[in-house]
Amino acid sequence: MTRHIDIINKYKAYLQLEKSLSGNSVDAYLTDLDKLLLYVGDENKDYKAIAYEDLQHFVAGLRDLGIHPRSQARIISGIKSFYRYLLLDGYITLDPTELLEAPKIGMKIPEVLTVAEINDMLDTIDLSKAEGQRNRAMLEVLYSCGLRVSELTSLRYSDVYFDEEFIRVEGKGSKQRLVPISQTAIREIRNYLYDRNLVTVKKGFEDTLFLSRRGTALSRIMVFHVIKQQAELAGIKKNVSPHTFRHSFATHLLEGGANLRAIQEMLGHESIVTTEIYTHIDREALRREILEHHPRSKR
């Protein structure tokens, strides 16, 4: 571990002295490198002995999260710089990044909202309307938990563990996972429950959290409509959909320094390059990732 830190410190000095990079640039290089080091650590591999195929898996994970090609390119550039340094200083004899290519910037990736844009969308919701607080709670949960729209519409009241600050989510293939939920989202849900209690609930939907005016579960189309409407009211020109909130959740966590594995666990992802389910991360580790890196936990 000491040697590991020693090499990173020498690389930092190399960036500062030989490459003459600014302090911000050096920090950015080291932050992006840390993402790879966390990944190879989870794979129980030595970063000085990883192969090109390992790096392909790592980059595939970035694509799977919907990380913008520019951000992918920046991360790959930082990784290439590190391995060039290791080669120059004799720590390795072959550069595993030599054939690693950055994504084409023109490739289509879902839009990502800034934290300010998400706040603008929430702030333009008319809380005087019957569905206002429901919509505010709904969008806050989408962003705070990174849910798929189908997971949001099927979320049950009994799935929300208010005191423990977790929600139980049923994802693809009926696979369940526990996802930390921010105190902001919990507060919005509690506020919504006053309005929910005024709705006449249809049989079979008694436990459904987000209800339509008719007392049934919201449809995917209804959620799309709400999001499109709020984006327009907020003056956002991006093509915004429920999935935009999911990608924004992942991007903001990753850019904040969260563990790639933890993000994939929270999103309910499996590897897109193998059928192996990602390593289990315990609930407290997930909570720490959210509290430390998610913008909503810093308000």
The span from the first CA to the last CA of the chain, in angstroms, equals 34
Catalytic residue among 10, 19, 45, 172: 172
Residue 246 is a catalytic residue: yes
**Residue 291 near residue 181, CB atoms below 8 Å:** no
Query: 61: part of which helix (H) or strand (E)?
Result: helix 52-64
What's the number of CA atoms in the CB half-sphere (13 Å) around residue 216? 4
State the Cα–Cα distance between residues 233 and 25, nearest whole angstrom. Answer: 37
Burial pattern 93-126, b for ≥16 Cβ within 10 A else e, equals eeebbeebeebeeeeebbbbbeeebbebbbeebe
Token pair, residue 247, equals 């990608």
Q: Nearest CA to 92 among 11, 152, 156, 22?
A: 11
Catalytic residue among 35, 196, 246, 294: 246
State the Cα–Cα distance between residues 170 and 150, nearest whole angstrom. Answer: 9
State the Cα–Cα distance between residues 224 and 241, nearest whole angstrom. Answer: 6
Catalytic residue among 134, 252, 269, 294: 269
**Residue 244 near residue 112, CB atoms below 8 Å:** yes
**Residue 170 near residue 207, CB atoms below 8 Å:** no
> What are the φ and ψ backbone dihedral angles of 93, each rounded to 5 degrees?
-105, -15
Catalytic residue among 11, 14, 192, 278: 278
Interior CA angle at 37 toward 98 and 99, to 5°?
10
Token pair, residue 29, equals 């290089």
Token pair, residue 53, equals 């195929």
CA 22 from chain centre, in angstroms, equals 28
Residue 243 is a catalytic residue: yes
Residue 148 is a catalytic residue: yes
Residues designated as active site: 148, 172, 243, 246, 269, 278
